Structure 1
Amino acid sequence: MSETDQDTTEFIQLLTEHQRLLFHYIHSLIPARNDADEVLQETNLVLWREYHQFESGSNFRAWACTVALNQVRAFTSKKRAKRPCFDTETMMLISERQEHRSVYFDSRLDALENCIQKLPPRKRAFVDQRYRLGCSVESIANQMGSSVEAVYKMLRRIRTTLHDCVDQTLSQEGLG
């Protein structure tokens, strides 16, 4: 695979991974879902058009959110006469808050992944079955040879363990 193909593949993977985050970011600035969808599409077009400017290994989320914010500004300036929109100062405040929350939730997600890896294999299997694969509790009970009630109790204990582990991890990193 050529370097250009590899760069394109990496970019597409990053863009795909960040779609939900970008949508929520845009939607936090533009309340109407249809409008947020429209701005997301415009953002994706700009990101694709400008992907050669993105430096591999740098912060894709920050770059993509900056592009999204610029697209939100362009959209709201076009629509300002037709419908009420946030002013630029309000959008900037919301944008800063969303970026802070995004970093916080990314830290929590990283801590959760680490905490899941620390679980004993049987408990990790429960988590994988229920949350990664989306299996029903009844199905898990049948597969694991347990009662439905026992699976519910096990999942509750695992969630408590993971919650405590995440809180402790973030506290140790000064983020909690």
Structure 2
Amino acid sequence: MAKLNIVLFEPEIPSNTGNIGRTCAATDSRLHLIEPLGFKLNEKAIQRAGMDYWKELDVVRYINYQDFLDKNPGAKIYMATTKGKNVYTDVSYEPDCYIMFGKESGGIPEEILAHHRADCIRIPMAGESRSLNLANSVAIVLYEALRQNAFSHMKLEGSLTKFDDYIE
């Protein structure tokens, strides 16, 4: 089964990574972490943000960006960046593509972006806003990719538990 892949390039804030891990677990997406990390994966902030979802998470770690490339040859990678020319809703996400997000303090380095210009995507923002929160950005783009793939393998409806017999 194809999985969407979220890649965090050198994330710095444990609660963001915890929230992103929870989102990945809830969407059956794989999380890729490119070191160095600005925290240890056993920090309480990650556990609080990820809650009990962290144990269900499909997560892969890499010692650096080159290690990531070496272990994922030929991967289709979209680079989420404020420097992108394409709006995130204007691309077609493959069911097994990789969507990379940069570290909170500086994004994805320009030397990496330069090799992926056509695949740089951005979330529109008003005025001179620098960027959105990393966890929010991941959720926005990931759910667009999931929508484009018809929310494959996801539960599409819920039900009331206390009022199942209630009729309008």
TM-score normalised to the size of structure 2?
Answer: 0.27
> Which protein is bigger by CA-based radius of gyration?
1
Larger strand share, 1 or 2: 2
Q: Which has the higher contact order (CA 8 A, sep 6+)?
A: 2
Larger helix share, 1 or 2: 1
TM-score normalised to the size of structure 1?
Answer: 0.26
